Structure 1
Amino acid sequence: MKVIFVCLGNICRSPMAEAMFKQMVTEAGLSNQITVDSAGTSNIAEGSPADSRTKAILDQHNIQDDGMIARQLSLQDYYDADYIIAMDQMNVADAKAMAPAGLAKKVHGIYEATPGKADHYIVDPWITHKFQDTYNSLSEALTNWLKKFQNELNK
């Protein structure tokens, strides 16, 4: 199973989600079954490292960021991924609009797996400067995605 987390520039939310989810997948013993990546819907930050504030939050929680470099979501990603999970409404709309015919169904909102919160999203901390809030939101949402994927893999 391949999962790609998506935000606008791939320097704040999606790399944080990638790093956090990789650790969760490893701790769950699923590294050989779930591959995790991230990308942006735009190329605005392509080639840049994760935002220093994202790195600081990951460091506070002892989560490796593996020197991630921003990249734009590619057409190949739609064929390779099982799930493309986007952080906000604009990211969902953009990722669906970029999808090759028949593959937009792979795009999901970050809270879609969280009961009662499917319509919730994570605001860009590059704008709000609330990187800890982003971490807290991802902690909740990613836990539910992991449960969903564990159930799918056990079928």
Structure 2
Amino acid sequence: MKKVLFVCLGNICRSPMAEAIMRHELSIRHLETSFLVDSAATSHWEVGSKPHRGTQKILSEHGIDCSTIRARQITQQDFLDSDIIIGMDKNNIKDLLAIAPNETKDKIHLFMSAVPEKETLEVPDPYYTGDFEETYRLVSEGVNEWLRLLF
């Protein structure tokens, strides 16, 4: 079983959205036993919080459940246990590389790096932009490409 960890700043918008969408896609494809999917934050600000109401709303509109997800901060053990760690933007990547044990830095990837012709794009933080639709579109596209790459 591969462990995939999505990471953003607060773990209330983008990374829980990616976690929920990937779990949903794995369920549709009957592959939920192939992956352990989780999400975390680089910060401690939102630890214990549910996903942002905008994230909950957009996921609910698409029939995707996120009710069990709670924000948490990434741990050193996450770096060791995860097979792949996917940061939603370049600041997340920079923060992850700064705290990752040296032997785990090759596990860290930019989320959109899996999407052909969009490899350097970042997923904008809807906490600041307010555009949960755009985030959902990018995250859905990225999740499908990561699933293609991981199989």
SS at match of 2:103: coil
Residue 37 of structure 1, CA deviation: 0.2
Q: Runs of 5+ in structure 2 lacking a partner?
A: none
Instruction: Confirm whether residue 114 of structure 1 aligns to residue 115 of structure 2.
Output: yes
Aligned residue number for residue 32 of structure 1: 33
Higher alpha-carbon deviation: 119-128 or 95-104: 95-104
| SS in structure 1 at match of 2:114 | coil
SS in 2 for 1:127: helix
Q: Any stretches of 5+ residues in structure 1 without a counterpart?
A: 151-155
Q: Tell me the TM-score normalized by structure 1.
A: 0.94
What RMSD in Å do the two structures reach over aligned CA positions? 0.8
* Offset of residue 67 of structure 1: 2.5
Q: In structure 1, how many angstroms separate the alpha carbons of the residues matched to 2:131 and 2:13?
A: 11
Structure-2 residue corresponding to 1:96: 97
Q: Deviations over 1:50-101 (max 9, x none)?
A: 1011000011001010331100010000111001101000001101111012
Q: Which runs of 4+ in 1 moved over 2 A?
A: none
TM-score by length of structure 2 reads 0.96
Worse-superposed segment, 128-137 or 28-37? 28-37
Query: 2:22: which partner in 1?
Result: 21
Deviation of the 1:14 alpha carbon: 0.4
Kept in 2, the 8 Å contact 1:97–1:104? The answer is: no
Aligned pairs for 1:1-155 (under 5 A) are 1-150=2-151
Q: What residue is the counterpart of 1:153 in the other structure?
A: none
Per-residue deviation, 1:49: 1.0
- Letter of the aligned partner of 2:89 in structure 1? D
Percent identical: 41
Count of paired positions: 150
Question: How many angstroms apart in 2 are the aligned matches of 1:103 and 1:122?
Answer: 23
Instruction: Report the 3-state secondary structure (helix = DSSP H, G, I; strand = E; otherwise coil) of the residue aligned with 1:112.
Output: helix
Alpha-carbon distance in 1 for matches of 2:54, 2:6: 18
Kept in 2: contact 1:40–1:70 (CA 8 A)? yes
Residue identity in the other structure for 2:84: Y
